[in-house]
Structure 1
């Protein structure tokens, strides 16, 4: 009970800082993209997400990354992860910035959110209409071909929506299958995310305090080595490291 009471003023301070970051970086992104080009815009997005991570320290949040013995020197990668909250995203963008991660996102996020919506529309990500399979197929094909041609990376959360208590939802394999099909030179990087759901354990307000968020990077898997049953094996690999909620 005391923690929840303390969470109210800390969350208010956090949200002010979070919102200020989004507002400040929105025009910075615009200038970087339209004046200086892709790389400047990418740098601004990475810096924004570093700042967003630092803001969460106001809530006592910490991040721990477990890295495999070896990661590819460059992309393309298909980054596949379970999804527990929006706080899964900034650490992926920052810590995997050398791979230029782009997101498969629902179309609703493409408008109305300063900085975030701008980056999704203009930074190489794709926006999916989950009710329009034909549109989704076209966007996923575009993403797969894009990363295959540029050596950049796609991030997909196959559950389709976040888990509110950390328990994994069944993977929807359509999106991942399309990326694999259209990015044959890519490697898949499975990631297990733990405890980011605790940031929203009380709902949207107040936020949870003291979350210890863990990212477990599994060894990369070349798309060229995949078999028909491999997608199910990737799901099993990711979920095997999920820590049951307490």
Structure 2
């Protein structure tokens, strides 16, 4: 039934989604030119509010649970599982006060209205997966910006998206590089549920009437235990929610 309604509702969702991207391309440019980082960030936040709103045209619900009292006076590394592109706009919108930046493929910095512009000028890290040296340098620079500006960062340590909700083992490299440059950062796990179901049939039709859930879990102080144990702990607490029976 969800797939059937997806045939009817996916075109409407896509139209609104991409219309927002096209409209906000010049808005971002103007905000960045005339208002600098602060105005540009506000335009990106508003863009992602509209992108998340377009989910509702598919009958998709988005729940964001944040029972934590997270600080805004220190960098935060949000460590999350990754299921689909539908993870991204809610994370940007709901984590907006933490200035959460992303580590993205460098290929995405070209050809996509609004998204490519934000990746180039929004302060995140754009990495070439074929060039490990460039990737480390870019992530390190993000860590420096996090420390300087008290920004957050969202990292998906699985390295790729899960197509069926089953998590892959977390990799330590990106988190270790960020912590090297921003040693006071707090690690905060985020469990993402059900966004893979939206795209389980591919880009068309999208599944309608799914319920995407984001849960902010207890923060972890990386200085208290070895980094390897920190990553395993983050992975396990996320898996308890994502793969619960």
Paired with 1:238 and 1:150, the residues of 2 have a C-alpha distance of 28
Q: Does 1:143 align with 2:142?
A: yes
Contact 2:143 2:182 in 1 (8 A): yes
> Aligned residue for 2:221?
222
> Aligned residue for 1:96?
95
> Aligned residue for 1:198?
197
Paired with 1:44 and 1:219, the residues of 2 have a C-alpha distance of 30
3-state SS of the aligned residue for 2:70? coil
Q: How many residues align?
A: 244
> Aligned residue for 1:64?
63
- Spell out the pairing of 1:143-182 with structure 2 (5 A cutoff): 143-182=142-181
> Aligned residue for 1:235?
235
- TM superposition shift of 1:163: 0.7
TM-score, length basis structure 2: 0.95
Taking a change above 3 Å as real, the CA distance of residues 85 and 7 of structure 1, as seen in their structure-2 partners, is same
Taking a change above 3 Å as real, the CA distance of residues 61 and 75 of structure 1, as seen in their structure-2 partners, is farther
3-state SS of the aligned residue for 2:202? coil
Paired with 1:49 and 1:225, the residues of 2 have a C-alpha distance of 35
Taking a change above 3 Å as real, the CA distance of residues 78 and 3 of structure 1, as seen in their structure-2 partners, is closer
> Aligned residue for 1:129?
128
Contact 2:24 2:114 in 1 (8 A): yes
Contact 2:81 2:238 in 1 (8 A): yes
Contact 1:75 1:151 in 2 (8 A): yes
Contact 2:79 2:157 in 1 (8 A): yes
TM-score, length basis structure 1: 0.95
Contact 1:167 1:244 in 2 (8 A): no
Q: State the Cα deviation string for residues 1-37 of structure 1 (Å, max 9, x = none).
A: x432321121011111111000000100000001111
Q: State the Cα deviation string for residues 22-77 of structure 1 (Å, max 9, x = none).
A: 00001000000011111110000000000001001010111112223422134411
Could you list the structure 1 runs, at least 4 aligned residues long, displaced by more than 4 angstroms after superposition.
none
Taking a change above 3 Å as real, the CA distance of residues 130 and 31 of structure 1, as seen in their structure-2 partners, is same
